[in-house]
C-alpha cells in the first residue's frame, strides 16, 4: 500500500514542541495550503488548514527553525485518528505525519536559500547534510567521440 503526501504552505502558528513520557520529541503545527484553482463565484483561491505532527529529530528541527508565517514543504503520510470529545461523541480527524520538512522560502533577512547558518546533524529533519557537494565534472567520465553512435 502507498500512503505518501507532499504539501506546501505557510505555518499558521509557531510549532508546539512537547515530549512524551519516554522522552521522544513531538511537534505539532498547521499549514495553510492554497488550492490550485479559484472559486467560480468569488474568484479567490480556497485555503485548506492541514494539521501536521513531527516526531524526534524532525520535531526538534521544525521547532527550532520554523515560525508562524514561514513557508514549509512537508513530506510524509496521511493519518486518520478516531477519538472521543469531552461530551463522549466520536470524532475523526486527519493529520499529516511529517517525515521530512524543507524550507519553502528564503531565510528572513538573508538570501542563503532559507537554511540556517549552522546545522546539527541528525539523520532526518529535512535539511541537507553539511558535506560539500562534489562538482559535476568530477561525477562523470569523459567519452571519446569516435563518430559512431553507442546504440
Say if 84 falls within a structural domain: yes
Say if 150 falls within a structural domain: no
Say if 60 falls within a structural domain: yes
49-86: pLDDT as tens digits = 999 999 999 999 999 999 999 999 999 999 999 999 99
Please give the residue range of the domain that contains residue 84.
5-138
Q: Between residues 126 and 29, which one has the greater pLDDT?
A: 29
Say if 105 falls within a structural domain: yes
Please give the full DSSP string across the chain, using - where no structure is assigned. Answer: ----EEEEEEESS--EEEE-TT--EEEEEEEEEEEEEE-TTT-SEEEEEEEEEEEHHHHHHHHHH--TT-EEEEEEEEEEEEEE-TTS-EEEEEEEEEEEEEE-SPPTT--STT--SS----S-SSS--SSPPPPGGGTSPPPP--SS---
Say if 143 falls within a structural domain: no
Question: CATH no. for residue 64?
Answer: 2.40.50.140
- Tell me if the pTM is above 0.75: no
Structural domains counted in the chain: 1
95-145: pLDDT as tens digits = 999 999 999 988 776 554 444 444 443 444 444 444 445 555 555 556 566
Say if 53 falls within a structural domain: yes
Amino acid at each position: 500500500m502507498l500512503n505518501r503526501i507532499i504539501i506546501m504552505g505557510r505555518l499558521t502558528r509557531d510549532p508546539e514542541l512537547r515530549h512524551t513520557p519516554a522522552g521522544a520529541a513531538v511537534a505539532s503545527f498547521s499549514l495553510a495550503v492554497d488550492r490550485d484553482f479559484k472559486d467560480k463565484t468569488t474568484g479567490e483561491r480556497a485555503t485548506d488548514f492541514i494539521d501536521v505532527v513531527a516526531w524526534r529529530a524532525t520535531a526538534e528541527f521544525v521547532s527550532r527553525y520554523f515560525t508562524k508565517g514561514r513557508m514549509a514543504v512537508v513530506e510524509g503520510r496521511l493519518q486518520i485518528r478516531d477519538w472521543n470529545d469531552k461530551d463522549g461523541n466520536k470524532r475523526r480527524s486527519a493529520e499529516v505525519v511529517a517525515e521530512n520538512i524543507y524550507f519553502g522560502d528564503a531565510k528572513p533577512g538573508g538570501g542563503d536559500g532559507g537554511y540556517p547558518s549552522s546545522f546539527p546533524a541528525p539523520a532526518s529533519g529535512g535539511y541537507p547534510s553539511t558535506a560539500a557537494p562534489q562538482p559535476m565534472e568530477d561525477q562523470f567520465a569523459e567519452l571519446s567521440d569516435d563518430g559512431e553512435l553507442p546504440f
